[in-house]
Chains A and B, each alone.
Chain A
Amino acid sequence: DTGVSQDPRHKITKRGQNVTFRCDPISEHNRLYWYRQTLGQGPEFLTYFQNEAQLEKSRLLSDRFSAERPKGSFSTLEIQRTEQGDSAMYLCASSLGPPLGGPSDTQYFGPGTRLTVL
């Protein structure tokens, strides 16, 4: 079990550019989540997948944000036309889901991708 991995770990971009982040969940986990964390704050939910289906999206996920999980394994989060307000840590988490994961459906987090928009 290698844990949740994210790539890249750091991304610096200029305002207006597009960026894409990748998340590889724990191998047997069927649920995958994206969160955004700004400095000194707790993570905020962005979106959630069960297998390849995107089941929930936050109001925080503007039209410039899109997430995919095409084969129910890894996921990508794309931000188009980045703005300085997009600067944050983007966290990915995965969980096994019930029944195998138990009712608590505990989420396990990756190391995050830190985005800086200049």
Chain B
Amino acid sequence: AQTVTQSQPEMSVQEAETVTLSCTYDTSENNYYLFWYKQPPSRQMILVIRQEAYKQQNATENRFSVNFQKAAKSFSLKISDSQLGDTAMYFCAFRPPMEYGNKLVFGAGTILRVKS
């Protein structure tokens, strides 16, 4: 079974600085999909960034980028120029190839606090 591990329960960062959230996963599949979702306090979960495992290039979305290390099964999220609105719970999620189902497997999450 696939598992996702987020080893940092909580992180803090000063406004305008850079922070990296860690995620590792376990799978025997070669072709899969990885996601980072953000869940602000008392608000709904929104997609931050996604990565297809067959793509070697790391995904970027404005201030958000990933470091995808397929051999190490690592998928970290880098947030540059942190803003107060980035304060949220961040979840790393794994989705296997379509033929093995469509469910997302989530990590336990990392609480990120951006301080002014």
Contacts and interface: CB of A to CB of B under 8 A. Distances in A.
Q: Do A and B come from one complex?
A: yes
Given A48-B101, A107-B104, A91 B109 contact: no
A66 B95 CA distance: 24
Contacts of B50: 104, 106
Size band of the A side of the interface?
A: 20 to 34
A56 B101 contact: yes
B14 to A, nearest CB: 25
A8 interface: no
Contact of A33 (B37, B44, B98, B103): B103
B98 A56 contact: no
Q: Is the interface of B mostly helix, strand, loop or mixed?
A: strand
B64 interface: no
Interface in A34-75: 35, 40-45, 48, 55-56, 58
Interface of A: 31, 33, 35, 40-45, 48, 55-56, 58, 91, 93, 95, 98, 103-112
Interface of B: 4, 33, 35, 37, 43-47, 50, 52, 91, 93, 95, 98, 101-109
